[in-house]
Amino acid sequence: MRNGARQITVWIDGKEVTVPEGTSVLRASALAGVGVPKLCATDSLEPFGSCRLCLVEIEGKRGFPASCTTTVEPGMKVKTFSERLAGLRRGVMELYISDHPLDCLTCPADGDCELQDMAGDVGLREVRYGYAGKNHLQAEKEKSNPYFTFDPAKCIVCSRCVRACDEIQGTFALTVEGRGFDSLIQPGPTGEFLSSECVSCGACVQACPTSALMEKAVIDLGLPSESTDTTCAYCGVGCSFHAETKGTTVVRMTPNKESLSNHGHSCVKGRFAWSYASSRDRVTKPMIRKRIEDPWQEVSWTEAIEHVASEFLRIREKHGRNSIGAVSSSRCTNEEDYIVQKLVRAVFRNNNIDTCARVCHSPTGYGLRKAFGESAGTNPFDSVDQANLIFVVGANPTDGHPVFGSRMKQRLRAGAKLIVADPRRTDLVRTPHIEADIHLPLRPGTNVALLNAIAHAILEEKLENREYIEARCDLTAYAKWREMILRPENSPEAMGPVTGVPAEAIRAAARLYATTRPAAIYYGLGVTEHSQGSTGVICLANLAMLTGNVGLDGAGVNPLRGQNNVQGACDMGSFPHELAGYRHVSDETARRGFEQAWGIEIDPEPGYRITNMLSAATIGEFKGLYMHGEDLVQSDPDASHVIAGLRNMELVVLHDIFLNESSHYAHVFLPGCSFLEKDGTFTNAERRIQLVRQVMPPLCGKQEWEVVQEIAQAMGYPMHYHHASEIMDEVARLTPTFHGVSFEKLARLGSIQWPCNEKAPEGTPVMHRGEFVRGKGFFALTGYVPTREKVSERFPLLLTTGRILFHYNVGTQTRRTANTTWSKEDLLEIHPSDAEERGIRDGDKTELRSRKGSVVMRCLVSERVAPGTVYATFHFPENRTNVLTTENSDWATNCPEYKVTAVQVTRVFEPVRAEERENGKPAKRREIVPAAGE
């Protein structure tokens, strides 16, 4: 479908249809309800015109044009079937089938094969050429990829896979090698998918019309018989999938073409890495123990709930109501996060609720609210299609948010300009057919210095959008900010040496950003996870307002949220100072609404953040923690501080699907559900709320919100939800930005971007159009304050961290899938000069030592990092990167400064596992004693 403004009317087999100019005859036929046989065409790829099946007759035109590559013209009369067309199509099919195995009954695509369908469609009854001629039937199957196979014998060389890799994924891993009969799909020079540049996104498998590219799960289990639409539980893109099942077994996950978050695309994690849900490591029975040194004892749900409730009541009675609290998770649904904060506020009777967004995007909430009045990104993903400049700051979307990364690459290949600010040369900086116009390889910890200098250059060179500022922004605040930014200490020349980026490059970036409209900012944890994380977010908001880039398509300030439901967890009141909908607990009107609905009084003072809970625990003031879907020991900084806090508590309840690293310090384990076992909603990075639907029954027998409800009931507080939808109904009643949200509407519309209420009954794709939520945009002052973490003679390198495509955060899920085929351990990237200085070679084991601790990691010598900077992933518990990270955190939100740690790197010969050094005997702490009678 094209987006031409002009509408054109044509007749297809006598049926009138009106379509936008530029639409293909094939598409127009489909819209007229007329099917035309095809093999090389799909609605997700550009027309190719190679299979010659979609030939049609057009009145007044000679020959038989391919309908996929012929565009409509006014008054065109098209005939899609005639004796001659039928003969031509049969002839084409004869050629295809003469070199295709006739093993339909044993083929994994039997019943789901377009070639089979087309043979039937064109009425193929014989192959006059026979099957004895030269053919590809004995070609060897390529099985190196853990998730799918490539069978050249089944390949009809339609190039759909090659085009899907190029056009949709943008990796250009596949090619057609040879010509004519010798044409063969090749994934790189070795002929192996695994060793090629293939990122295993599944786009080629999705596009393949035969079983040439086929999921191994389908080969093993057969085609699925049922399908349930649900939302991926990995990153903040929130891809929608069809979970295809046989009974309660998931056979495959296929991306949903109708979804506005992923438009039918996927990445290796969402498409293939879901087998963790049925991992043998799943713990499905509740367990308790008196001391953390004891083995686990399986118990019934009743006993576990009663134990948890009575212990929380006992601690509250003994140590006061502020001695207990909870941490919720961005992996969980909105409904689960809402009910957990309700448990804390209405049953624990305090505001000691925090969420793992604390350690990733809490500065986003603070910064964007301060500037714009709402704690959320401004634009939908689709908006990137209109961006003429993309400014990526501290984000690596091709690894961290791969489906959106591909979308971004499509726009960049179509001509949008690109600025990347990142200490590391990420893939986006230079990837096939894309090269950043400007890469600003800043020193870790200097975002604010860089962004202030960009603003300085814009103002100094008079490139600001005065009309926009005067109409849309608070001019008093703007005048103060302008005066501060224009001070000499914020000039590119002054900040160049601080950031490590030449002044001229900073000025070039400023000019490009300010003069290319619309310009969109996308940022990630490379902005937020700093001691000035919130200031960095405010800097980005200021830049966008300065250039008039908020409130319009193709622009905005767009956080790329790390986890699937970071946005939602924050929306649901999971912070200790805010009720659902980002209303401060001191707001009497907001509080009264919840108090009336819940029948209790809410504390008007903020509660503890995660780090405050742990600090209070170490001095004996915080005694009981309910940890829902969270692994503080592995995820949070300064692991020794976390462990000290947990060890000092009388009750640590862990509600999770696995015994994670924090389980070593837990007294109760409550088994949770994977996303495949849940009903609920996730909200992605673009504020899009989407349904999560139960695909298989909970392995532990209960949905997580039911467990929370039972704890509340056992503590004497009435909760009587019967379904997750009733929890969302309550959220909608009590939260102005959610007034119009319901499961019924979500099912009907597919998704909703909040705010969704009387003013915007179907949601709000672009925020702040015409006016900011807070009224006038606010330029907060953003003085640069260097981090306390400094390099020294002992710790001369700066460590920054990130994740890779194949793993997700601390790897709890992906380490339990075949994604370990690509990555079995964390790696440390070090520049060749730093490596040489230390006698380190590629692949060596090295010890990283910081002021906080040391870990051992294998080295990858790489010029992706600048000299003086090293980069590590954090996916494997045995490496425990957070043993190294410091207690430094964002001044406003306490988001940890993961991205700046001074370290030394040395080569080691006999590595000792960090776990053994730090934890003593973890094996004992994982021992499980079955319930009596088992």
Partner 1 sequence: MIEDLVQMANQIGDFFDSYPSQEEAVAGIADHLKRFWTPSMREKLLAYAEEDGRELSQPVRSALARLQKPVAGA
The nearer residue to partner 1, 612 or 683, going by C-beta atoms, is 612
Q: How far, in Å, CA of 518 to CA of 368, rounded?
A: 19
Strands 869-873 and 827-830: antiparallel
Q: Return the sign of the alpha-carbon dihedral for residues 536, 808, 222, 674.
A: negative
597 near partner 1, rule: CB under 8 A: no
> Mask 348-367, x = binds partner 1 (CB under 8 A)?
--x-----------------
374 near partner 1, rule: CB under 8 A: no
The nearer residue to partner 1, 406 or 894, going by C-beta atoms, is 894
The residue within the footprint of partner 1, chosen from 471, 597, 747, 781 (CB under 8 A), is 781
The answer to whether the beta carbons of residues 799 and 848 sit under 8 Å apart is yes
587 near partner 1, rule: CB under 8 A: no
Distance in Å, CB of 575 to partner 1, minimum: 9
The residue within the footprint of partner 1, chosen from 137, 484, 600, 804 (CB under 8 A), is 484
Q: Interface with partner 1 by CB under 8 A: which range of 125-133, 229-237, 289-297, 528-536? A: 528-536
Residues between 489 and 508 with contacts to partner 1, criterion CB under 8 A: none
Distance in Å, CB of 869 to partner 1, minimum: 24
Start-to-end Cα distance in the chain: 61
Q: Interface with partner 1 by CB under 8 A: which range of 4-12, 466-474, 775-783, 846-854? A: 775-783
The nearer residue to partner 1, 383 or 782, going by C-beta atoms, is 782
782 near partner 1, rule: CB under 8 A: yes
Q: How far, in Å, CA of 926 to CA of 281, rounded?
A: 11
The residue within the footprint of partner 1, chosen from 71, 894, 904, 919 (CB under 8 A), is 894
> Mask 783-802, x = binds partner 1 (CB under 8 A)?
x-x-----------------
586 near partner 1, rule: CB under 8 A: yes
Q: Which stretches within 215-300 are classed as H helix? A: 216-221, 268-272
Distance in Å, CB of 444 to partner 1, minimum: 18
Q: Interface with partner 1 by CB under 8 A: which range of 48-56, 182-190, 530-538, 819-827? A: 530-538
718 near partner 1, rule: CB under 8 A: no
> Mask 810-849, x = binds partner 1 (CB under 8 A)?
----------------------------------------
Q: How far, in Å, CA of 552 to CA of 769, rounded?
A: 6
887 near partner 1, rule: CB under 8 A: yes
Nearest to 888 by CA among 687, 581, 636: 636
Distance in Å, CB of 785 to partner 1, minimum: 4
Residues between 602 and 631 with contacts to partner 1, criterion CB under 8 A: 603, 605-608, 611-612, 615-616, 618-619, 621
The nearer residue to partner 1, 118 or 540, going by C-beta atoms, is 540
The nearer residue to partner 1, 622 or 717, going by C-beta atoms, is 622
Phi, psi of 401 (to 5 degrees): -135, 65
Helices 503-515, 492-499: crossing angle, 10 deg rounding: 120
Distance in Å, CB of 689 to partner 1, minimum: 27
The nearer residue to partner 1, 321 or 592, going by C-beta atoms, is 321
Q: Record the tokens describing residue 502, joined without a space.
A: 């030449």
Helices 447-460, 533-546: crossing angle, 10 deg rounding: 20
Q: Interface with partner 1 by CB under 8 A: which range of 232-240, 326-334, 531-539, 753-761? A: 531-539
584 near partner 1, rule: CB under 8 A: yes
The nearer residue to partner 1, 479 or 747, going by C-beta atoms, is 479
Where are any strands of DSSP class E within 174-291? 175-177, 184-186, 213-215, 226-231, 240-246, 249-255, 287-288
Q: Interface with partner 1 by CB under 8 A: which range of 70-78, 93-101, 459-467, 890-898? A: 890-898
b/e per residue 658-688 (b: at least 16 CB within 10 A): bbbbbbbbbbbbbbbbbbbbbbbbbbbbbbb
Q: How far, in Å, CA of 803 to CA of 798, rounded?
A: 17
Q: How far, in Å, CA of 249 to CA of 268, rounded?
A: 20
Phi, psi of 104 (to 5 degrees): -50, -40
Q: How far, in Å, CA of 376 to CA of 917, rounded?
A: 41
Nearest to 728 by CA among 164, 338, 409: 338
Residues between 308 and 347 with contacts to partner 1, criterion CB under 8 A: 320-322
Distance in Å, CB of 895 to partner 1, minimum: 12
Q: How many other CB atoms sit within 10 Å of the CB of residue 769?
A: 13
As a whole number of Å, the CA-based R_g of the chain is 29
Identity of the amino acid at 428? L
Q: How far, in Å, CA of 776 to CA of 778, rounded?
A: 6
The nearer residue to partner 1, 452 or 869, going by C-beta atoms, is 452
3-class SS letters over 22-73: CCEHHHHHHHCCCCCCCCCCCCCCCCCCCCCCCECEECCCCCCCECCCCECC
- By CB under 8 A, the count of residues binding partner 1 is 36
Nearest to 455 by CA among 402, 422, 495, 425: 495
In sequence order, the 6+-apart residues with CB closer than 8 A to the CB of 505 are 438, 440
The nearer residue to partner 1, 65 or 606, going by C-beta atoms, is 606
The nearer residue to partner 1, 210 or 612, going by C-beta atoms, is 612
Residues between 102 and 131 with contacts to partner 1, criterion CB under 8 A: none
Binding site for partner 1 (CB under 8 A): 320-322, 350, 480, 483-484, 531-532, 535, 576-577, 584, 586, 603, 605-608, 611-612, 615-616, 618-619, 621, 781-783, 785, 887, 889, 891-894
